[in-house]
Structure 1
């Protein structure tokens, strides 16, 4: 299989359940038409894909077929992405001993199983992967070229420069890496056309300034460099000292070292799909695919539009449409039509309001950019549960981030998350309406922290001149209070951590054990014998010890920074933080790789770090950096390793690309940060004339003092105000156990297989600041894509679904760049469009958050002065 060729066989046409498709010129296999039709339907496979495996199926013997199916059943037994009807057919086939004794009587069944086994062996078992990922490779395509490295480094430098420059501005602006992917194509084609072809030797190898046609491997290498390089270092929120470069490099490369060591768990296995990577591949394929066959689609029509043409039309369509909900008619974005009926009705706005306060007051509003990542403070303003069946007409609102498109993430995720967010809504409403924990005095759904005067918590009133917790000042001021939405988020966050550990032990322990046994073996294509591993086996692998050296070196750099400067903490934060990451990285990574959503460790890191470093906010922050940030980096690097794996980029080229891009980005980000801190007058002050007020950093400081200086012991410890929320930890164990035993006792209830407890808990942590209105549209769109369209018009869905998602995301990204320029121009001139379609989104409680109980002059709620410590 490793020697698969890319040549094209002569074809003839055949009509199947999903339309006309080419098949091998040779006579079709001697399977009954009903077998082919059943396989197409069960496997959600296009006729074109089926034709490719028919010849391979002829060569499979009965015993080999059974062995392939045994492996499939073991690996995909609890895989919600794998078709349940196919899995059950395989189980029935393997359980029938009569097949071995009388194979002639089961010719039709054997034929079907041989086709299914050949498909899984020769291609991906997932229609999502087959839709965009080639199961062939051309090893002669140049990848690590001067062209790719030059464009990649320039784009990484420019991207992180812009992101870091505007990170501390209000509002902040972040460019996503898909901008680099989109712009890399014209840059590569321009290089192809204008740069002369000249060979030269470098480090003993021959290179060419212009190696010919700009190809998809070069394009993907540039994209991977942008993926890892566009992110501003998290540690810039912690430090502004001379050792920041060491800390930045340490946290980045620790994540990279762990990512390389977890490839056996998160990259090589076929069930680790990493759904978000499919959009990136689809965008690349739309530029580089030469053959584009017509497909049968809705309304029994043949659709011959190429992927590139669809991408172009959808891209420009979204680019134009962006301006209507984003600037001209903002009610299309926040379509809180139910609350418009009575804007000042407290109950109506609380339950149905979508985004009160997200945009500024109508007299100050210029433009909103939901898809440009705003500062933390900007997104802390929605204060309602958002129960609304028709909440938005804006793709920006529907897609909360680049990887969460409902056209990409599987439907079972959206459905489970929606059940979770509905459950969370009842918890929030119960807390707020009963005034439990005094939540009735506060906005219902915000992650801001308040004092007992219902004002934002002023941390300076609880610390001394050194920034250290002052018990006397704290007792003379106030404990911290949280909204009903924020309390619910903490409850479900505590639950999701124990849930993901329990869930992965129950359903993925065999894969984890297999990965542990195979960790330092070289032949991953033998250990994971799917087609993509076999194709990648022709390239030299990066041995684990390379990544181990990177990990050890980055730990050394981190220790040098922690111990060499006055960080007021010990080396233990490095090792304990990494230990936290190692415990969770595989369970969280498996869930992320299968479902597409990431369970972040920030709350757990704050909880443990604050309890361990009681009174030391800086120590808590370092623990958080080495526990949460390194794990997040690991997952991002792992996703890119899978992206390179699917794209057949040589592993050592990927290694070099990620290392260089991260190194360049780290130095650029730190340099820009130092420029900002030393050359911008009044930086990080509320009156800075160019709005470089550092809202995210200030909010980070507030959180650091609350959970590091004040500490979680006072909040969640014995006798603490919110101790009861710790019940989330045992609930997180109970829920997956209940699902596990329910599935064992009721094996015929297929709907139980679609229950995914981590996704359920994830739904409820959408609150504070988001709400029901942000998640519900994704359920509808995902159903139309992954259930209705994929099963009825598979070929149409396979050809266009991911390209459409890539086009929408790219259109928004480029429109956002244009909007930046206009935003600043209009802001300086105080220009806005003042009409009902913009003003209605900020009426009544949608503008100023409403509360159930209002304090009188001089009153405060909660414990009396002197009763809290």
Structure 2
């Protein structure tokens, strides 16, 4: 173990850091050699932030000066026995947690496993002191420095949250945002409003209402309230943001309605009935609000902090915290900007910059400059192209949203980003191998696209193989073609199969003990919530790893489990009614079957999301399983997919909101009602638009007005027929030409076993950082994406987490997550302005810088091999299996 040095304790004290008598103070000479000033550490007034951060590094602790000072004030109450007990529990929980610092885990192992630490305290005073500080940080705040950077460890019980201002702003923004997102969801490219934009706009409106609303108190149903309870606070602000997060997710039922109603698809007129639309929307939206995703914490005993939620928390802190004290940062400068000022400046900068690559000079957004050398060179475009190629180019892009399409830089932990990048590179090598060996006839197709093709190299026309009900017509199929996939899409399917089994084996191997404890705890809570009458007084166990946020939330009443149970039962009933009461010719059993699929994978998906910040979607497995249960029926598969895939996806968003409420100390019952109301508003606002959108001239065709060409709906229709009508048996069955891709299932199953054994046998930081599911997830980032969408996020995260964070922790803690929110918000607002100000009036700017990225083979998707002279490749028509 590396030597750890600390500031000496008060010379007037004869006690060592562990509280025993007669142990000498700690190694001033070595501290001087390390360049640390020697003296008594003033825990109440941090004068020199740089010295304090250097002190934390010497201690081997990730903590800012303020955190270290607070911990040192409380260390006297931490006995050595309790410290060891806490560290033993921490090791049990975090031994496989890549977010937990490896050097801290090494120190814990030294404290617990080295008998000399207990028998010779005088030789290990520094280690004991450091571990006591760590124990105080863990129980008094959070084990993660990233959480401590943006979350307050105190709570004001008198601070209101579910106020008139919250309801008014939250409902208003929920309706407006849901309306906008649904209105432009079918546009190419789509325009959407994020909850970050709502969070920014809610603040001035909340402050305005704080100034103008009367402070008079009213009494209603025996409760006293005021329209203006005082200062617009962070709890109100966060609750509004959470409502918008829920409401801005457009309902998946829109895809089903459009595919059924439009004449170019299934042309089923009953799909235009509002009753059919609203029952399916309400059923799917409310089933997603499952209690299994509770996040306070979602899985007690399982390490997680939902890294993607930290940017939202940082922005909330920026609006409501006073943080103008200076911190040392890069370039040997001291930075005193508040988070809010930093946010506004960075947001304004990104707002202005987006106009250049987003409108004025689009070659900066898609700088496929290598292909400009020889635009018609197919090999050059396939390797370096940014549109249909692999994007292997050191200059990826100069536009934020393009360069972060497959990653969430700055906020996602570096280990997760690097694991994804490794899997991404492995998948890229597989694509090259498949393409240049012409495996699966990929040489006749573009190398990297998610489109489906026929045996003539044209886009697969699914209407040529189905009847008007979307069911397979074998005679028509034999006359047309089998579907074929590009090399990039083939590799994605292989790794999709792998990621599902990898999630299951990873969860069992790495978290089986914690899940057992969590399951027992949740079952006790469920039984307790259904009991009536007074509960017997039971002395609570001393949970050694309960952080301060969990303890503070105990002051608020929990949401009874039966509330969620009722929501689930009602939503199931509405969903079944939407299928059964209309001539869908689909068994209503697809609704509970789909929900069951989501429940099976919910815990593994939630774990991966909580640790890595990446959300594994269930779309492929839902299509695979649903089409196998109800073969040959596209519409039945669509319902199964909606209730299987979207239930899990929306439940994770719900879980993220609960975590935000947990960290901001919002009453869980307030959170429940805010989310239910936001879901209801979103459902009605979006459904009210369906028939209006269906009335657009040539909607979902290339001739559609306002560019409403519906790329998502077209993909959904293709997938519904591809999986539902054509079916997985023909693709992956014994005679299917993609049957070898099923090897992905055992590959994914075995991969976590390999990393688990390596972690147990090889003690190194590199091996401990391996995450098998993150690797497989990264392999999914091809087709239609490529290296130009991946590399910028890797570089930015590396600079943030490796160069900035270890050297300037206080600077990083204050600005890192705010920077991400500022960039995302700036791009979103700028894109909306560009759309309404220029693209709707069709004000175009045509010049070389805006046309060159869309010319040549990179744009067209040139192929390596021409279709044979007989006019097709693969089996002859009429001989398809």
TM-score by length of 1: 0.90
Q: Give yes or no for contact 1:525–1:534 (8 Å, CA) kept in 2.
A: no
State the secondary structure of the residue aligned to 1:593: helix
Q: Give yes or no for contact 1:275–1:596 (8 Å, CA) kept in 2.
A: yes
Q: Does 1:628 align with 2:640?
A: no
Corresponding residue number in structure 1 for 2:662:
645
CA separation in 2, counterparts of 1:213 and 1:265? 29
Corresponding residue number in structure 1 for 2:674:
657
* Deviation by residue 1:525-573 (Cα, 9 ceiling, x = unmatched): 9666111101111111112222122212211222222222222222321
Go from structure 1 to structure 2 and tell me whether the alpha carbon gap of 1:17 and 1:295 turns closer, same or farther (over 3 Å shift).
farther
State the secondary structure of the residue aligned to 1:173: coil
Corresponding residue number in structure 1 for 2:303:
271
Q: Does 1:161 align with 2:179?
A: yes
Q: Give yes or no for contact 2:43–2:69 (8 Å, CA) kept in 1.
A: no
* Deviation by residue 1:505-525 (Cα, 9 ceiling, x = unmatched): 111112211110101444999
Give the aligned CA root-mean-square deviation in angstroms. 2.4
Corresponding residue number in structure 2 for 1:861:
873
Q: Give yes or no for contact 1:525–1:537 (8 Å, CA) kept in 2.
A: no
Go from structure 1 to structure 2 and tell me whether the alpha carbon gap of 1:611 and 1:297 turns closer, same or farther (over 3 Å shift).
same
The Cα of 1:299 is off from its aligned counterpart by 2.7
* Deviation by residue 1:331-365 (Cα, 9 ceiling, x = unmatched): 2212223223322222111111112xxxxxxxxxx
Corresponding residue number in structure 1 for 2:434:
431
Q: Give yes or no for contact 1:82–1:126 (8 Å, CA) kept in 2.
A: yes
Corresponding residue number in structure 2 for 1:782:
797
Matches within 5 A, 1:101-500: 101-239=119-257, 240=271, 241=273, 242-260=275-293, 262-263=294-295, 266=298, 271-355=303-387, 383-400=388-405, 404-500=407-503
CA separation in 1, counterparts of 2:124 and 2:704? 79
2:811 to 782, 796, 803: 796
* Deviation by residue 1:96-138 (Cα, 9 ceiling, x = unmatched): 3344444344333221211111111111111111111111111
CA separation in 1, counterparts of 2:665 and 2:301? 15
- Give the unaligned 5+ runs of structure 2: 1-31, 258-270, 529-539
Go from structure 1 to structure 2 and tell me whether the alpha carbon gap of 1:34 and 1:847 turns closer, same or farther (over 3 Å shift).
closer
The Cα of 1:858 is off from its aligned counterpart by 5.9
Go from structure 1 to structure 2 and tell me whether the alpha carbon gap of 1:245 and 1:718 turns closer, same or farther (over 3 Å shift).
same
The Cα of 1:153 is off from its aligned counterpart by 0.2
The Cα of 1:284 is off from its aligned counterpart by 1.2
1:772 to 778, 787, 799: 787
Name the stretch that deviates more: 818-827 or 482-491. 818-827
CA separation in 2, counterparts of 1:286 and 1:199? 30
Q: Give yes or no for contact 1:157–1:668 (8 Å, CA) kept in 2.
A: yes
Q: Give yes or no for contact 1:413–1:756 (8 Å, CA) kept in 2.
A: yes
Matches within 5 A, 1:706-745: 706-745=722-761
Matches within 5 A, 1:485-524: 485-522=488-525
Q: Does 1:63 align with 2:81?
A: yes
Q: Give yes or no for contact 1:542–1:655 (8 Å, CA) kept in 2.
A: yes
* Deviation by residue 1:670-716 (Cα, 9 ceiling, x = unmatched): 11113323x44444444343443433223211210110011111011
Q: Give yes or no for contact 1:270–1:530 (8 Å, CA) kept in 2.
A: no
* Deviation by residue 1:246-273 (Cα, 9 ceiling, x = unmatched): 221122211112445x447736557321
Q: Give yes or no for contact 1:266–1:590 (8 Å, CA) kept in 2.
A: no
Q: Give yes or no for contact 1:39–1:112 (8 Å, CA) kept in 2.
A: no
Go from structure 1 to structure 2 and tell me whether the alpha carbon gap of 1:621 and 1:787 turns closer, same or farther (over 3 Å shift).
same
CA separation in 1, counterparts of 2:399 and 2:696? 36
* Deviation by residue 1:166-209 (Cα, 9 ceiling, x = unmatched): 22334332211111111101111111122222321233221211
CA separation in 1, counterparts of 2:39 and 2:719? 58
State the secondary structure of the residue aligned to 2:860: coil
CA separation in 2, counterparts of 1:618 and 1:387? 39
Name the stretch that deviates more: 716-725 or 413-422. 413-422
Corresponding residue number in structure 1 for 2:265:
none
CA separation in 2, counterparts of 1:698 and 1:25? 62
CA separation in 2, counterparts of 1:807 and 1:417? 24
Q: Give yes or no for contact 1:35–1:108 (8 Å, CA) kept in 2.
A: no
Q: Does 1:754 align with 2:754?
A: no
CA separation in 1, counterparts of 2:684 and 2:448? 38
Q: Does 1:590 align with 2:607?
A: yes
CA separation in 1, counterparts of 2:331 and 2:200? 32
Go from structure 1 to structure 2 and tell me whether the alpha carbon gap of 1:572 and 1:614 turns closer, same or farther (over 3 Å shift).
same
Q: Does 1:840 align with 2:873?
A: no
Q: Does 1:702 align with 2:718?
A: yes
State the secondary structure of the residue aligned to 2:805: helix
State the secondary structure of the residue aligned to 1:302: strand
2:567 to 519, 531, 550: 550
Name the stretch that deviates more: 851-860 or 289-298. 851-860
Q: Give yes or no for contact 1:259–1:635 (8 Å, CA) kept in 2.
A: no
Q: Give yes or no for contact 1:17–1:41 (8 Å, CA) kept in 2.
A: no
State the secondary structure of the residue aligned to 1:475: helix
CA separation in 2, counterparts of 1:484 and 1:167? 28
Go from structure 1 to structure 2 and tell me whether the alpha carbon gap of 1:212 and 1:328 turns closer, same or farther (over 3 Å shift).
same
Go from structure 1 to structure 2 and tell me whether the alpha carbon gap of 1:579 and 1:264 turns closer, same or farther (over 3 Å shift).
farther
The Cα of 1:426 is off from its aligned counterpart by 1.2
Count of matched residue positions in the alignment of Structure 1 and Structure 2: 816
Matches within 5 A, 1:512-591: 512-522=515-525, 529-591=546-608
Go from structure 1 to structure 2 and tell me whether the alpha carbon gap of 1:507 and 1:267 turns closer, same or farther (over 3 Å shift).
closer
Q: Give yes or no for contact 1:265–1:515 (8 Å, CA) kept in 2.
A: no
- Give the unaligned 5+ runs of structure 1: 1-14, 356-382
The Cα of 1:758 is off from its aligned counterpart by 0.9
Matches within 5 A, 1:596-615: 596-615=613-632
State the secondary structure of the residue aligned to 1:296: strand
CA separation in 2, counterparts of 1:121 and 1:36? 23
Q: Give yes or no for contact 2:191–2:831 (8 Å, CA) kept in 1.
A: no
Q: Give yes or no for contact 1:53–1:119 (8 Å, CA) kept in 2.
A: yes
Go from structure 1 to structure 2 and tell me whether the alpha carbon gap of 1:432 and 1:555 turns closer, same or farther (over 3 Å shift).
same
Go from structure 1 to structure 2 and tell me whether the alpha carbon gap of 1:27 and 1:327 turns closer, same or farther (over 3 Å shift).
closer
Go from structure 1 to structure 2 and tell me whether the alpha carbon gap of 1:96 and 1:868 turns closer, same or farther (over 3 Å shift).
same
Go from structure 1 to structure 2 and tell me whether the alpha carbon gap of 1:452 and 1:425 turns closer, same or farther (over 3 Å shift).
same
The Cα of 1:291 is off from its aligned counterpart by 3.5
Q: Give yes or no for contact 1:42–1:83 (8 Å, CA) kept in 2.
A: no
State the secondary structure of the residue aligned to 2:207: helix
State the secondary structure of the residue aligned to 1:207: strand
Q: Does 1:42 align with 2:60?
A: yes
The Cα of 1:25 is off from its aligned counterpart by 6.0
Go from structure 1 to structure 2 and tell me whether the alpha carbon gap of 1:20 and 1:621 turns closer, same or farther (over 3 Å shift).
farther
